[in-house]
Copies of this chain bind each other. A is one copy, B any other.
């Protein structure tokens, strides 16, 4: 079991684009209840099944297993609530930390989010200049909610 401590930010401008090459992500959710989220994900040409537990503060239990690509494809097509989440992920090292910048497509086109994983909840971090407002605690930005209320339908 891994404990995941993450902070999530909006992104300013385009300076991050020249710093990395994006990898294609396609993912959906079999289950999105409070106690557990079950995610199916295809990263490039590899399939993964991920189980996440209850979020407590910024921490969350997470179990991830590689699965055959064809299993992941069948699960995405027949078991996940549409729309699927489609995005390119860019991994950008800044100081000691690895940032993940997600550029969304499909029903969430226009949304770009930067996430960083921390070792402790109170860890001090240096923000790159292209990182904007923090949205760690705004549930609209949870991936599971980007399916129910995609970015293209937000009114504010």
A31 beta carbon closer than 8 Å to chain B: yes
**Which residue of chain B has the shortest Cβ distance to A65 in the bound complex?**
B65
- Which A residues from 80 to 120 make CB contacts under 8 A with B? none
Question: How many copies of the chain does the oligomer comprise?
Answer: 2
Q: What is the size, in residues, of chain A's interface with B at 8 Å between Cβ atoms?
A: 21
Give bound CA distance, A31 to B70, whole Å: 22
Chain B residues with Cβ below 8 Å from A49 are 49, 51, 65
A53 and B38 contact, Cβ closer than 8 Å, known pairs A1-B70, A31-B31, A67-B65: no
Chain A residues engaging chain B, CB cutoff 8 angstroms: 1, 30-31, 33, 35-36, 38, 49, 51, 53-54, 61, 63, 65, 67, 70-71, 74-75, 78-79
